[in-house]
Amino acid sequence: MMEQVKTLIDLQEVMVQVHRLEEEKRKVPLEVADLKSLFEEREAKFLAAEKEFETLRQQRREKEREIEEERDKVERAKAKLMSIKTNKEYYAMLKEIEGTRRTNASREEELLALLSRYEEEEKRLAERKSDLEEVEGNYRERMVDIEARMGTFDADIERILARKRQVASRLEAGLVRRFELIFGRRDSLAIVPARNYSCTGCHMNISPQLFNLLQREDGIHTCPNCNRILYYEAVESEAAGG
| pLDDT tens per residue, range 73-94 | 777 777 777 777 788 887 788 8
Residue 242 pLDDT more than 60? no
What domains appear along the chain, each with residue ranges and CATH number?
23-168 (1.10.287.1490), 172-241 (no CATH)
pLDDT tens digits for range 115-134? 888 899 999 999 999 999 99
Sheet holding 191-195, edge to edge: 198-199, 191-195, 229-232, 221-222
Residue 1 pLDDT more than 70? no
Provide, rounded to the nearest whole percent, the portion of the chain with pLDDT above 70.
Answer: 97
Q: Does the model's pTM come out above 0.85? A: no
Q: What is the pLDDT of residue 76?
A: 76
Q: List Cβ neighbours of 213 (8 Å cut-off, separation of 6 or more).
A: 219, 221
Give 105's pLDDT tier (boundaries 50, 70, 90).
confident
Q: What is the pLDDT of residue 240?
A: 46
pLDDT tens digits for range 161-208? 999 999 999 999 999 999 999 999 999 999 999 999 999 999 999 999
DSSP H or E stretch at residue 112: helix 87-168
Burial class, 228, CB count within 10 angstroms (exposed 0-12 / middle 13-18 / buried 19+): buried
pLDDT tens digits for range 16-75? 999 999 999 998 888 888 888 999 999 999 999 999 999 998 988 888 888 888 888 777
Gap between the Cα atoms of 215 and 196, Å rounded: 11
Mean pLDDT of 108-117: 87
Burial class, 179, CB count within 10 angstroms (exposed 0-12 / middle 13-18 / buried 19+): buried
Mean pLDDT, rounded, of the chain: 89
